[in-house]
């Protein structure tokens, strides 16, 4: 059989194959996104209905910001860990191992989780504005903080999901090892969001920290992944 020469370097083709496979599976099952979206909707609707419309608008930006990120954090915990656990449970982990190079699997899964959480963050932001009647003056900064924070969260969650999938009792382990790693990014995102909601300017260092932490996590995860991928 004559293989058609690829137009793309094979690494990008491998990443694309992993991403396409996950996206197709998700589009057909809609499991991960619906889990994340229903969780976010339930939280925001629950808070909104229990506190009541008038009092919600009086919540200070600090509390609003914390609520927004708590919803995103727990949605992420509910859905992002599935990228590897699902492969383990379906028995397809070995198929993935013998099909794609480890780095292609890692980057494919990271990109998939980033798409998932960034899409969710857009939905959560819309629901947040509707339920909490928030007025935002600097949309660019808010979206910047939200997306950088979501991207960082997705990268860390992908790395810890890979670790947890190799272990027993992985569901609980995923949250336990993700929490301390995510905390600096999480606190920085909360502070950035608070500043925007309070009408203050978000400092450049805040953006740099959010982006930089994500990059460090991406590189660390990439180095670690090769060791995690082959069983001991």
**Rounded distance between C-alpha atoms, residue 155 and residue 110, angstroms:** 6
**Distance between CA 219 and CA 155 in Å, rounded?**
10
The distance of closest approach from Cβ of residue 48 to other proteins in the complex, given in angstroms and rounded to an integer, is 35
Which one of residues 90, 129, 167, 176 is an interface residue with other proteins (CB under 8 A)?
Answer: 90
47, 62, 63, 92: which one binds other proteins (CB under 8 A): 92
Pick the piece of the chain touching other proteins (CB under 8 A) from 90-98, 138-146, 168-176, 185-193: 90-98
CB of 196 to other proteins, least distance (A): 40
The SS3 of residue 2 is coil
Taking residue 57's Cβ as centre, other Cβ atoms within 10 Å add up to 12
Q: Which is nearer to other proteins, 100 or 125 (CB)?
A: 100
Class of residue 22 by CB neighbours under 10 A (exposed 0-12, middle 13-18, buried 19+):
buried
Q: Does 103 bind other proteins (CB under 8 A)?
A: yes
- Counting Cβ atoms within 10 Å, is residue 223 exposed (0-12), middle (13-18) or buried (19+)? exposed
3 binds other proteins (CB under 8 A): yes
We find the least distance from the C-beta atom of residue 171 to other proteins, in angstroms, to be: 21
Taking the complex as a whole, the smallest distance from the CB of residue 172 to other proteins amounts, in Å, to 23
The DSSP 8-state label assigned to residue 135 in this structure reads -
Asked whether 41 and 127 are in contact (CB, 8 A), the reply is: yes
Annotate each residue in 21-40 with x if it binds other proteins (CB under 8 A) or - if it does not, as one string: x--xx--xx-----------
Q: Which is nearer to other proteins, 29 or 137 (CB)?
A: 29
The residue written with tokens 């903080």 in the block is 145
Residue 34 to residue 38: CA distance in whole angstroms: 6
For other proteins, the binding residues (CB under 8 A) are 1-7, 10-11, 13-14, 16-18, 20-21, 24-25, 28-29, 90-92, 94-95, 97-104, 226, 229-232
């Amino acid at each position: 059989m004559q293989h058609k020469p690829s137009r793309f370097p094979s690494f990008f083709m491998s990443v694309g194959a992993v991403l396409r496979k996950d996206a197709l599976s998700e589009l057909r099952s809609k499991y991960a996104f619906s889990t994340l979206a229903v969780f976010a909707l339930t939280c925001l609707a629950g808070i909104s209905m229990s506190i009541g419309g008038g009092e919600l608008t009086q919540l200070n930006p600090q509390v609003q910001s914390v609520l927004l990120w708590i919803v995103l954090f727990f949605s992420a915990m509910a859905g992002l860990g599935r990228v590897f656990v699902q492969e383990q449970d379906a028995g397809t982990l070995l198929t993935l191992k013998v099909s794609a190079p480890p780095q292609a699997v890692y980057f494919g899964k990271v990109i998939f989780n980033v798409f998932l959480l960034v899409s969710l963050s857009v939905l959560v932001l819309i629901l947040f504005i509707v339920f909490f009647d928030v007025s935002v003056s600097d949309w660019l900064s808010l979206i910047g903080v939200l997306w950088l924070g979501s991207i960082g969260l997705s990268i860390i969650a992908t790395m810890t999901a890979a670790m947890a999938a190799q272990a027993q009792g992985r569901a609980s382990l995923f949250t336990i090892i993700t929490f301390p790693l995510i905390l600096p990014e999480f606190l920085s995102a909360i502070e950035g969001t608070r500043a925007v909601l309070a009408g203050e300017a978000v400092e450049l260092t805040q953006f740099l920290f959010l982006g930089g932490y994500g990059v460090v996590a991406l590189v660390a995860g990439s180095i670690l992944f090769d060791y995690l991928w082959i069983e001991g």
